[in-house]
């Protein structure tokens, strides 16, 4: 599927974060009002999860831009996806629900889970312009900040622009 324009195609962060929010909502059972991306403006709603994709470097070698083209372009990029689970530690039973949300997010990030290739409900995938061709858990950090219990799950991922995604 071709992107409508170059700006949309090269907005890796918005596209990856939007896809991750979609399949993590399904996995955790949290609603759209409890799911956030890095630039979302919001009030503090608990429990919640937020996702942030940090773009890394382009990966060598450069490839032909699209099928039938002789133009070379960087199509593969590394990055880090952080998933933050936040719950209210002052409420009884939060430890159990926090651990459950964390485990469900990890389950959604398994290599063979319904994640990046999940359908969008319209016959396509939720990540139409890219392929995720590498994903590895890199660690989890936990902190308690006052009444907030916060777990951050980090993943190294590589995304590649599909050869049919370049706008015409």
Domain architecture of the chain: domains with CATH: 6-161 (3.30.2000.30)
Q: Note whether 113 and 107 are within 8 A (CB).
A: yes
Q: How many CB atoms lie within 10 A of CB 103?
A: 13
Can the peptide bond before residue 61 be classed as cis, meaning omega within 30 degrees of 0? yes
Instruction: Quote the CA–CA distance of 132 and 122 in Å, as a whole number.
Output: 20
Residue 165: what pLDDT? 93
Residue 73: what pLDDT? 92
Mean pLDDT by 10 residues, the chain (168 residues): 94 96 93 88 86 96 84 95 95 88 96 86 82 96 94 97 90
Residue 123: what pLDDT? 64
- The closest of 3, 47, 4, 58 to 24, measured between CA atoms, is 47
**Reported pTM:** 0.91
Can the peptide bond before residue 41 be classed as cis, meaning omega within 30 degrees of 0? no
């Amino acid at each position: 599927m071709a992107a409508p324009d170059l700006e949309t195609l090269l907005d890796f962060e918005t596209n990856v974060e939007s896809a991750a929010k979609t399949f993590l909502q399904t996995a955790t059972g949290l609603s759209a009002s409890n799911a956030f991306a890095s630039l979302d403006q919001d009030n503090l709603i608990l429990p919640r999860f937020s996702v942030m994709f940090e773009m890394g470097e382009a990966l060598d070698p450069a490839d032909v831009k699209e099928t039938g083209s002789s133009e070379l372009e960087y199509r593969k990029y590394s990055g880090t996806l952080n998933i933050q689970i936040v719950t209210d530690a002052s409420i009884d039973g939060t430890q159990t629900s926090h651990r459950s949300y964390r485990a469900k997010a990890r389950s959604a990030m398994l290599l063979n889970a319904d994640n990046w290739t999940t359908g969008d409900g319209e016959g396509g995938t939720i990540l139409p312009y890219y392929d995720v061709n590498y994903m590895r858990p890199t660690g989890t950090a936990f902190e308690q900040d006052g009444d907030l219990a916060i777990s951050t799950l980090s993943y190294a991922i590589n995304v590649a622009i599909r050869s049919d995604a370049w706008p015409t």
